[in-house]
Chains A and B, each alone.
Chain A
Amino acid sequence: MRTAVISFPASNCDRDAFTALHQITGREPVMIWHRETEIPADVDFVVVPGGFSYGDYLRSGAIAARSPIVQDLKAKAEKGLTIAGFCNGFQVLTEAGLLPGALMRNERLKYVCKPQSLSIVNGKSRFTSGYNGQKNVVLPIAHHDGNYFADKKTLDRLEKSGQVVFKYDENVNGSARNIAGITNAAGNVLGMMPHPERAVDPLHGGTDGIALFQSVLDTAS
C-alpha cells in the first residue's frame, strides 16, 4: 500500500505518522508539502497529521484547510481516497468540510495529554475492522481543542449511520456524546482526536494503534 503524510507549517506529528506508516506498511510514505497541488495518483491512504498547523492561529486547522494540497485532498476524497486526520488533522478535515461538526476549546480550557480509554463504537469501518471485535482501546490524547460539537440533528445522524467510530470512556474534553472520532458518510474519511500513531510500539506504553493502520492496509489489499 502506498501512503502519504501531508506537512503543514508546524505540523509536528508528521514524523510520527511517517514512522508508524513505515513500520506497519513496510514502505516509506510520501511526504507532501502543503503548497503542493496534487496527491500522487498511486497513493492509497493519506494521513493528515497532528500538530499546530499555522500555530492554531485564527482557529485550529482553519488556515491549513485553505492550503493548495487540501483542495486536491477534497477532490480525491470525493473519489473515495482513504484519508485519516489525527488530532490537528481532524481539525483540518472539519475545517475543510470533509467531516461534519467542529472542534472547540476543551471544556476545562486546558490542554490535556494522557492515555485515554476509548470505546470502539463502530468496529466495521475501514479504520476499525482490524480490531476484530475488540471493544475498548487505550490511545494517547494530547490536545487543547478537542471538544467535538455538532447540532443534535447531525449527531443523531452520525450515530444512526455508524459514522461515530470512537467514543471517550469519560468526558475528557466536553465533546458532544463523548465523540472521539467520526467518519464521513461514505466511510472513507476518518477524523479522530486520539493519536493511534503514538501507540504502535511496546515502548510507547501500548500498541492499540496498530490495528487501525492494519485495518486500512487489509481493506486496501
Chain B
Amino acid sequence: MSKKIKITPEVVKEHGLSEGEYQIILDRLGREPNINELGIFSVMWSEHCSYKSSRRHLGKFLTKGKRVIQGPGENAGVIDIGDNDAIIFKMESHNHPSYIEPYQGAATGVGGIMRDVFTMGARPIANMNALRFGETNHPKTRTLISGVVAGIGGYGNCVGVPTVGGETNFHKGYNGNILVNAMCVGLADQDKVFYSAAKGVGNPIFYVGSKTGRDGIHGATMASAEFDDDSEEKRPTVQVGDPFTEKLLIEACLELMETDAIIAIQDMGAAGLTSSSIEMADKGGVGIKMNLDKVPQRETGMTPYEMMLSESQERMLMVLVPGKEHLALEIFQKWELDVAEVGITTDTGRLVLTHKRKTVCDIPIAPLADDAPNLDRPHVKTPQRPVLAADDARAPDDYNAALNTLITCPDMASKRWIWEQYDRHVMADTVDSSQSGGDAAIVRIHGSNKAVAITTDCTPRYCYADPYEGGKQVVAETWRNLTCTGATPIAITDCLNFGNPERPEIMGQLVGCIDGMNEACRAFDYPVVSGNVSLYNETNGVAIPPTPAVGGVGLIEDLSIFTTLSGAQEGDTLVLVGETQGWLGSSLYGREILGHENNDDAPVYAPPPVDLTVEKTNGDYVRSLIKNRRVKAVHDLSDGGLTMSVAEMCFAAGIGAELKAAPSGVTTQGWLFGEDQARYLLAVDENSVNPVVSTAQAKGIAAQVVGKITGGRLSAAGAFDVSLSDLKDANERVLPDLMASKA
C-alpha cells in the first residue's frame, strides 16, 4: 500500500495539511513522503495534537507554584499534597466523538483521561465531568444525554473509579456540538511518578494492553475540523471502549510500576501509536525503531498506515530497562493482557518503521515536534457590552412564578437522573459527591485523615458576553467552590472548548478567556498544571459559546474540619459574605425571566465583573471561619444568585428559609437574583452570628444577616413564599420528565 498511493495535492488536503505545512515536510525529508509518513505528519500536526492555534497563548499561563511537581507537557499535572502523596489530574474533551456516537464517545473519553493519569503512576481515585448539551427540546438532545450518561457510567462504574461530581448545562449554542469534558484525579507516591521521556539507547519498547484494530483512524483529525450535515458518516472514526481491559491495564501497570522495570511510559491516546512513540522519543532525545509485524492486531491485513493511526483504546507503550523484560511479561500475562516487544530506542533521532521486512517509514523525529506549526492566528477582541442598568432590569410579574421558572430551568434542575447512574462510592473514600448538590466533591486520601476537594465549572454565558471577565470568573468560581468545603485550592486543569480558530472573533474569545483565566490564576496563586484544547466545535458555521471548563483541586488537611452545602439546622442564621449590587447583566434571571436571549438581535449585557482582590479576601475569610468551626453549611452564589443558593441549601437540609427584604439601594430582583461575584452564603449558629459578621466588618469584608433557616417554606419578604417540598419536587421532576417524554 505504501508504494501504491500517490501523494497528490488532494491526498495532502484530505489529511488536513496546508500547502505551507506540506512544503515544510518536503524540506525536512528532502523527498516526497510516502503515505505512512504523510499520515504521521498529518496527525502530529493536527490541531488536536499540536495545539497549533493555541500554543503561543497557553504559554502565558501560570504553571508553577510551590506545590506543583509537574505542570503542563506531560500526560497530566502533578501536585504535592504532603506526606509523599502526589495528586495527578487532568481534564480532557471528547466532544466530537460523543456527538457522533454518544455512548462510545463518552466512554472512551473517560477511559482516555484515566489512562493519562495512571500512566504517570497514579491510581485513579475520582472522575468528574463537565457536560454541555443543546436545548432540551432539540430532537437530538435526549438521545445524546442518555447515551453520554450511560457511556460515562458504563466505563467508570466497571473500572471501579467513582464518578463524584460535575456539571451539566443546556443551551441552544450546543445543539450541533455537545461538549463532553472528562476529568480524572489520581493518587501516587511522589517518589513513584512516571514520565514519558524515553531516555537511553538500546532499550526495549513494549506494547501492552488491547490489540490494535481499525477503529478511530484519524480521530484526531476529525477533532480538528468542523461538522457539517454529513458528520454522522464519520462514525467509523469513533473508538470503542472496553472498560474491563482498562481495569486490568490499571492493575497491571501499577503492579509493574512497583518494580524498577520502567524507564518511560505513555498511553496511546489521540493518534495512537504515532503520537505515543514520537512524544516518548522526542522527550528522551532518542530515535525509535519499531517492527509493526510485532504489534498485536485485532484484524487481519492491517497496513502500517492503519496501525500507526488507529486509536484503538486501552493500549500503552513503555520503554523498559534491558534485562527486566520478564517482569513485564509475567505481570501482563497474569492479567491476561497482550504484551509484545515491538521495538528499541536508537541514537538516530529518527522514527523507523518496518513491516513485512520493508522499511515503511523513516523520518526525523525532531521536526515532528519542533516544527509543528505554531500559528499566530488573527484575533479580534469581543466588543465591549453595555452594562444593564438596575432600572432596566424589571421585576418579575410574579415572584413565585419567577422562582419556579428558575428552579425548573434545565440548568438549575436536579441532575439526579444523571448522577444516580454513576457509582459515586466505589473505593469507599467518597465523603461528598453530587448526591449532596454541594460545590465540590470530597474524596479521602485512602487510609489517611485528609482529602481532596474537586470541582468543575464554567459559565459560558459570561464568557460569551466578555471572554476576559468570563475567563476570570471561571477560575474564581472553582476557587470559590473549593473554598466552600474548607479546602485550600491548589491548582487547576482546563478544557478550552471553542469554535473555529480560523475566525478572528473565535480566536478573540480564546485569547480573551486565556488572559482572564491567567489573571485569576496569578491572583490566587492557583496554577494550571494540565489541560486540553478543543477547537472547531462548530456546525455549519455556528460556533458553540466559548466554554473554557476548569477543574479545580484543593486539599483538606484534616477531615474532622470541612463543610458542605448540607448541615444547616432549624433556627440557623443565614449570613451573606460579599457585596451585593444586584448585577443582572448576563444573568440566569436575564435569560430566563427577562428573555435576554429570546432573539438573536437582542443586546448582550456585560457579565458581573470579578474583583480578584475582593474574591481572595472573602474566600480566605470564609475558609478561616470553616477552620474555626464557625459555620455549619456553606454555599457559593452563582447562577440565579442568592435565591438559588438559599434554595439549594434548603433542599440539602430539608428545612425552609425566610429571607429578609432587600437592603436599600438594591432592587428586590437584583437582591434576590443578582449574580455579583465573590459571595458566599453561610448557615451559622445563633451564637456565631456576631463574631462572624463583626470580624468580617472589621476586616472590611461585606457581611450581613439575610435571613434564617426555618420551617417548611422558602420565602423572601416582599417577593416569594412557596412550599419547599413543592419547589424541590418541581426541581427533581424536570430531568425524569424530559427523559420519559415521548415527544
Contact at A10–B160, with CB atoms within 8 Å?
Answer: yes
Please indicate the chain B residues that have their CB under 8 angstroms from the CB of A9 in the complex: 244, 247-248, 335-336
Q: In the docked arrangement, what's the CA distance between A114 and B427, Å? A: 15
Contact at B428–A19, with CB atoms within 8 Å?
Answer: yes
Please indicate the chain B residues that have their CB under 8 angstroms from the CB of A110 in the complex: 150, 420-421
B559 CB within 8 Å of chain A: yes
Contact at A12–B421, with CB atoms within 8 Å?
Answer: no
A197 CB within 8 Å of chain B: yes
What are the interface flags for A48-66 relative to B under an 8 Å C-beta threshold, 1 for contact and 0 otherwise?
A: 0011101111000000000
With most chain A CB atoms within 10 A of its CB, the pick from B245, B335, B423 is B423
Contact pick for B426, options A16, A19, A144, CB 8 Å? A16
Q: In the docked arrangement, what's the CA distance between A200 and B425, Å? A: 12
Q: In the docked arrangement, what's the CA distance between A115 and B420, Å? A: 10
Contact at B244–A54, with CB atoms within 8 Å?
Answer: yes
Please indicate the chain B residues that have their CB under 8 angstroms from the CB of A203 in the complex: 431, 444, 559
Q: In the docked arrangement, what's the CA distance between A114 and B430, Å? A: 13
Contact pick for A204, options B159, B242, B428, CB 8 Å? B428
Q: In the docked arrangement, what's the CA distance between A142 and B435, Å? A: 13
Contact at B428–A142, with CB atoms within 8 Å?
Answer: no
B422 CB within 8 Å of chain A: yes
State which residues 183-206 of A face B: CB under 8 Å: 195, 197-198, 200-201, 203-204
Please indicate the chain A residues that have their CB under 8 angstroms from the CB of B430 in the complex: 204
Please indicate the chain B residues that have their CB under 8 angstroms from the CB of A182 in the complex: none
State which residues 87-144 of B face A: CB under 8 Å: none
Contact at A142–B244, with CB atoms within 8 Å?
Answer: no
Q: How many residues on the B side are at the interface (Cβ–Cβ under 8 A)?
A: 31
Q: Would you give the shortest CB distance from A42 to chain B, in whole angstroms?
A: 25
Please indicate the chain A residues that have their CB under 8 angstroms from the CB of B242 in the complex: 55
Please indicate the chain B residues that have their CB under 8 angstroms from the CB of A55 in the complex: 158, 242-245, 247
Residue of A whose beta carbon sits closest to that of B431 = A203
A20 CB within 8 Å of chain B: yes
B472 CB within 8 Å of chain A: no
B554 CB within 8 Å of chain A: no
Interface residues on A, range: 20 to 34
Contact at B420–A112, with CB atoms within 8 Å?
Answer: yes
Please indicate the chain A residues that have their CB under 8 angstroms from the CB of B382 in the complex: none
Please indicate the chain A residues that have their CB under 8 angstroms from the CB of B728 in the complex: none
Contact pick for B425, options A20, A111, A142, CB 8 Å? A142
Contact at A52–B244, with CB atoms within 8 Å?
Answer: yes
Contact at A51–B428, with CB atoms within 8 Å?
Answer: no
Contact at A10–B158, with CB atoms within 8 Å?
Answer: yes
Residue of A whose beta carbon sits closest to that of B242 = A55
Residue of B whose beta carbon sits closest to that of A17 = B428
Please indicate the chain A residues that have their CB under 8 angstroms from the CB of B157 in the complex: 52, 111, 113, 142, 144
Contact at B425–A140, with CB atoms within 8 Å?
Answer: yes
Please indicate the chain B residues that have their CB under 8 angstroms from the CB of A10 in the complex: 158-160, 244, 247-248
B424 CB within 8 Å of chain A: yes
Q: In the docked arrangement, what's the CA distance between A48 and B336, Å? A: 21
Please indicate the chain A residues that have their CB under 8 angstroms from the CB of B446 in the complex: 19
Please indicate the chain B residues that have their CB under 8 angstroms from the CB of A204 in the complex: 425, 428, 430
Contact at A52–B160, with CB atoms within 8 Å?
Answer: yes
A13 CB within 8 Å of chain B: yes
A15 CB within 8 Å of chain B: yes
B153 CB within 8 Å of chain A: yes
Contact pick for B160, options A12, A54, A200, CB 8 Å? A12
Please indicate the chain B residues that have their CB under 8 angstroms from the CB of A140 in the complex: 425
Residue of B whose beta carbon sits closest to that of A203 = B431
Contact at B421–A142, with CB atoms within 8 Å?
Answer: no
What are the interface flags for A1-37 relative to B under an 8 Å C-beta threshold, 1 for contact and 0 otherwise?
A: 0000000011011011001100000000000000000
State which residues 406-433 of B face A: CB under 8 Å: 419-428, 430-431
What are the interface flags for A124-163 relative to B under an 8 Å C-beta threshold, 1 for contact and 0 otherwise?
A: 0000000000000000101010000000000000000000
Please indicate the chain A residues that have their CB under 8 angstroms from the CB of B425 in the complex: 113, 140, 142, 195, 198, 204
Please indicate the chain A residues that have their CB under 8 angstroms from the CB of B428 in the complex: 13, 15-16, 19-20, 197-198, 200-201, 204
Contact pick for A113, options B150, B243, B248, B420, CB 8 Å? B420
Q: In the docked arrangement, what's the CA distance between A146 and B424, Å? A: 17
Please indicate the chain B residues that have their CB under 8 angstroms from the CB of A112 in the complex: 420-421
Contact at A52–B158, with CB atoms within 8 Å?
Answer: yes
Q: Would you give the shortest CB distance from A149 to chain B, in whole angstroms?
A: 22
Q: Would you give the shortest CB distance from A23 to chain B, in whole angstroms?
A: 10
Contact pick for B427, options A15, A52, A57, A200, CB 8 Å? A15
Please indicate the chain A residues that have their CB under 8 angstroms from the CB of B559 in the complex: 203
State which residues 421-478 of B face A: CB under 8 Å: 421-428, 430-431, 435, 444, 446
Contact at B424–A52, with CB atoms within 8 Å?
Answer: no
Q: Would you give the shortest CB distance from A36 to chain B, in whole angstroms?
A: 12
Please indicate the chain A residues that have their CB under 8 angstroms from the CB of B423 in the complex: 111, 113, 142
Q: Would you give the shortest CB distance from B729 to chain A, in whole angstroms?
A: 17
Please indicate the chain B residues that have their CB under 8 angstroms from the CB of A201 in the complex: 428
Residue of A whose beta carbon sits closest to that of B451 = A203
State which residues 140-154 of B face A: CB under 8 Å: 150, 153-154
Q: Would you give the shortest CB distance from A55 to chain B, in whole angstroms?
A: 3
Q: In the docked arrangement, what's the CA distance between A20 and B154, Å? A: 26
Q: In the docked arrangement, what's the CA distance between A113 and B335, Å? A: 28
State which residues 92-112 of A face B: CB under 8 Å: 110-112
Q: 10 new A-B pairs (CB below 8 Å) besides A10-B160, A111-B150?
A: A12-B159, A12-B160, A16-B426, A111-B153, A111-B421, A113-B425, A115-B435, A198-B428, A203-B431, A204-B425
The 5 A-B pairs of least Cβ separation, nearest first, read A12-B160, A55-B244, A16-B428, A52-B158, A10-B247
Q: What is the interface of chain A, defined by CB distance below 8 A to chain B?
A: 9-10, 12-13, 15-16, 19-20, 50-52, 54-57, 110-115, 140, 142, 144, 195, 197-198, 200-201, 203-204
Q: What is the interface of chain B, defined by CB distance below 8 A to chain A?
A: 150, 153-154, 157-160, 242-245, 247-248, 335-336, 419-428, 430-431, 435, 444, 446, 559
Q: List 22 A-B contacts (CB under 8 A).
A: A9-B248, A9-B336, A10-B158, A10-B159, A10-B244, A10-B247, A12-B158, A12-B159, A13-B160, A15-B427, A52-B243, A52-B247, A55-B158, A55-B242, A55-B247, A110-B420, A111-B420, A112-B420, A113-B425, A142-B426, A198-B425, A198-B426
